[in-house]
Amino acid sequence: MQGDAYSRLVAWLKVMLPLAALALLSTLFLLSRVVDPTASIPFAETEIQERLRDQQITAPFFSGTTADGHELTFIADKLITPAGTVGRNEAETVEVDIDTVSGGRIVMTANHASYDLGDDMTTLTGQVIVSTSAEYDVRSDNIRSRMSRLEVVSPGPVAGLSPMGELNAGAMRITAPEGESAPEQMLFTDGVKVVYLPKPLEE
C-alpha cells in the first residue's frame, strides 16, 4: 500500500510541478514592463557628446584661505574641464565669497567664470555683481579676481550704488595692504561720477 501511495504522489508531482512553473512564467511576462528597443535614451545627443568630451562636476564647492589670510569660498552650479586642457576650468552660475582679515566681506556673482591655474586668475563674465559689507553694490561685464590674494579688478566700466549714491566709473580695483589687517581699499578710476542720494531722515 505504501508503495502505491508513493507512486501516486510521484505521478501527481510530475504533472503539478510543470504546471506551477508555467504559471510563474506567465505571471512574469504579464507583470514585466514592455521595453521598446527602438526608444531613445533620456539624453539629448548633444548632451552625450558634451559629457564624453568634457569632464563635468555638478555643484562644486571650494573653500580655502589666501596667502594674505583672507577666507575664500567658491560655489557654482557646474564646473567643466575642457578636453585637452590642463589647469583651466569653466563654471556656470558662480558665487565667490571673500571674508577679509579686517572683518569685511565681498560677494561676487556671475553667469560664467573661467579659472586659469597658471595665471592664478579667475575671470567672471555675464552680469557680474560685486557687493561689499561697506555698502557698495556695483555691476560689470568683466571682473578678474586672484585666488591666492585679495585683488579684484574690473578693467571696464562699473555702475551701481555706493554709500554716497549712484556710482559710475571706467574701472575699479579692490586690494588690501600686504601684511596688515587694515580694511580693503576700493579704487575707482577713469572718469568717476557720483550722484549724491541723501538718505531719508529717521523719525
Residue ranges covered by each domain of the chain: 56-196
Check: CB of residue 163 under 8 Å from CB of residue 134.
Answer: yes
Could you give the 3-state DSSP secondary structure of residue 7?
helix
pLDDT digits (tens, 9 = 90+) for 31-53: 444 445 444 445 454 554 455 45
Q: How much is the pLDDT for 31? A: 44
Q: Tell me if the pTM is above 0.75.
A: no
Q: Which residue has the higher pLDDT, 37 or 195?
A: 195
Could you give the 3-state DSSP secondary structure of residue 146?
strand
Q: Tell me the three cell numbers of residue 107.
A: 560677494
Please tell me the CATH code under which domain 56-196 is placed. 2.60.450.10
pLDDT digits (tens, 9 = 90+) for 8-30: 665 555 556 555 555 554 444 44
- Separation between Cα atoms, residue 144 and residue 55, nearest integer Å: 24
* Termini Cα distance of the chain: 111
Check: CB of residue 98 under 8 Å from CB of residue 70.
Answer: yes
